[in-house]
């Protein structure tokens, strides 16, 4: 029964991760469509947001389900501005903010405080209603991480400082020309990338309720692209080399280093979106001698591989990447079949970029990848 339950839970986790990826991909594809015909005026908008969160911690491990039994309450404050020159119709919005919330059990998990940047893609706009997707990325501070003596019950997080990520479906209902009411289902994740164990990560699902107040509006004219069929870089092959470090044993913390390589093809959808698929190889030379209970584990090969599909959300030289993958080569039964990757890239040259991404499985971080890549435009 427990084996069947674990399989079902693993499947549900993969479905949630895939659904979030598909939701975000759909918003990028639909939200970036334009008429591509002539110049027209848009409005530069600065805004301020204040919101309240009410939700719960997702119990992806039994010990989290046992301890994080309370509701999650949180607050955030945001300021931002739209970016009309990036996309003429339904301009994206960029800003910064701060966030504070509980984690279901203040005695065990403490509270979370974060500063972040956010990027909103609007793909339905009207006089009374708008719909979009927001990506949030920042640095979070957890007040009660694991400690062998002071807080041994926290098996979800082992450090104060963590990466902080949010994905949300943002709905706004206009009350007046300056004020809108926001209702947003939102997913939040805090993890240290397995730099320090334990690190199963803390995931919350909540409803974000708040208000959006427009601070300043001014007209701005921008040009449309007449025809996208002749744009360059429609087909692209990308080569990516990366590495990372993580702890593999909480009782005997030894740093483990990983190397990775990926080759994948992507297709240009519009000025802000690419979709594609590729192949990954991972080399993790773990010292399995630290596991005396597993006599045969030293026979497992450090090399594994898989395939993935994903998309890239492009804004000038900066881009956000979300990928969902399946392992097809692995001799270690402890490795999850499904893996995912959320990352950010910056193109500092015409075809060269740097990469930072969080690789995870079962909604728990495996390690942070740092790398460099090269694009081959076909």
Q: Where in the chain does DSSP place strands (E)?
A: 40-57, 71-82, 93-102, 111-125, 129-142, 161-174, 179-191, 202-222, 235-247, 255-270, 273-283, 303-315, 318-329, 338-346, 352-361, 364-377
170: its two tokens: 């943002």
CB atoms within 10 A of CB 326: 14
The residues of the chain that CATH labels 2.40.160.20 are 39-222, 235-377
pLDDT tens digit sequence for 242-269: 998 877 665 556 677 889 999 999 999 8
Quote the pLDDT of residue 43: 55
Overall average pLDDT of the 312-320 stretch: 83
Fold (topology level) of 235-377: Porin (2.40.160)
- Rounded Cα gap, residues 273 and 133, in angstroms: 14
Q: Where are the alpha helices (DSSP H) in the chain?
A: 2-31, 62-67
Share of the chain above pLDDT 70, in %: 75
- Phi/psi of residue 2, nearest 5 degrees: -65, -35
pLDDT tens digit sequence for 17-59: 544 554 454 444 444 444 333 344 445 679 999 999 999 998 8
pLDDT tens digit sequence for 327-378: 998 877 767 888 989 888 999 988 899 999 988 887 677 888 999 999 999 8
Residue keyed to tokens 């994206």: 92
pLDDT tens digit sequence for 98-137: 999 999 999 999 999 999 999 888 878 888 998 988 989 8
Q: Is-above-0.85 flag for pTM?
A: no
Quote the pLDDT of residue 226: 40
For β-strands 318-329 and 303-315, DSSP reports them as antiparallel
Asked if pLDDT for residue 14 goes beyond 60, the answer is no
Fold (topology level) of 39-222: Porin (2.40.160)
Quote the pLDDT of residue 4: 44
Quote the pLDDT of residue 15: 44
* DSSP for 295-320, written as a single string: TTGGGS-SEEEEEEEEEEEEETTEEE
To the nearest whole number, what is the mean pLDDT of the chain? 80
Instruction: Please give the residue that has the higher pLDDT: either 89 or 240.
Output: 240
pLDDT tens digit sequence for 159-209: 999 989 999 999 999 999 889 999 999 999 998 877 888 888 899 999 999
Confidence band (pLDDT; 50, 70, 90) for 285?
confident
Confidence band (pLDDT; 50, 70, 90) for 228?
very low
Asked if pLDDT for residue 230 goes beyond 60, the answer is no
CB atoms within 10 A of CB 281: 14
């Amino acid at each position: 029964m427990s084996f069947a339950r674990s399989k079902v839970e693993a499947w549900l986790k993969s479905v949630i991760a895939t659904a979030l990826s598909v939701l975000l991909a759909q918003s990028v594809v639909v939200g970036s469509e334009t008429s591509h015909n002539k110049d027209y005026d848009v409005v530069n908008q600065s805004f301020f947001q204040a919101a309240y969160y009410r939700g719960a911690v997702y119990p992806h491990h039994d010990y989290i389900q046992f301890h994080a039994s309370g509701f999650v309450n949180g607050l955030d404050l945001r300021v931002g501005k739209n970016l009309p020159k990036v996309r003429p119709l339904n301009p994206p919005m960029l800003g910064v903010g701060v966030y504070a919330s509980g984690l279901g059990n203040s005695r065990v998990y403490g509270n979370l405080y974060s500063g972040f940047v956010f990027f909103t893609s609007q793909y339905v706009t009207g006089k009374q209603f708008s719909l979009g997707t927001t990506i949030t990325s920042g640095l979070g501070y957890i007040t009660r991480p694991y400690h062998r003596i002071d807080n041994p019950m926290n098996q979800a997080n082992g450090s104060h400082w963590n990466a902080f990520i949010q994905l949300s479906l943002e709905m706004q209902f206009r009350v007046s020309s300056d004020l809108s009411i926001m209702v947003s289902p939102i997913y939040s994740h805090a993890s240290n990338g397995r730099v320090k164990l334990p690190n199963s990560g803390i995931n919350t699902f909540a409803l974000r309720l708040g208000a959006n107040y427009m601070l300043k509006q001014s007209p701005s004219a921008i040009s449309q692209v007449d025809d996208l069929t002749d744009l360059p870089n429609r087909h692209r092959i990308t080569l990516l080399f990366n590495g990372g470090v993580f702890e593999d044993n909480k009782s005997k913390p030894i740093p483990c280093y990983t190397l990775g390589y990926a080759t994948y093809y992507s297709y240009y959808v519009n000025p802000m979106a690419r979709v594609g698929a590729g192949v990954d190889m991972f080399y993790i030379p773990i010292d399995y001698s630290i596991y005396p209970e597993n006599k045969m584990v030293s026979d497992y090969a450090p090399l594994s591989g898989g395939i993935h599909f994903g998309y890239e959300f492009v804004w000038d030289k900066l881009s956000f990447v979300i990928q969902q993958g399946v392992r097809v080569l692995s001799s270690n039964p402890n490795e999850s079949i499904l893996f995912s990757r959320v990352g950010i890239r910056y193109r500092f040259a015409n075809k060269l970029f740097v990469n930072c991404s969080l690789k995870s499985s079962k909604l728990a971080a495996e390690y942070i990848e740092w790398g460099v890549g090269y694009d081959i435009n076909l």
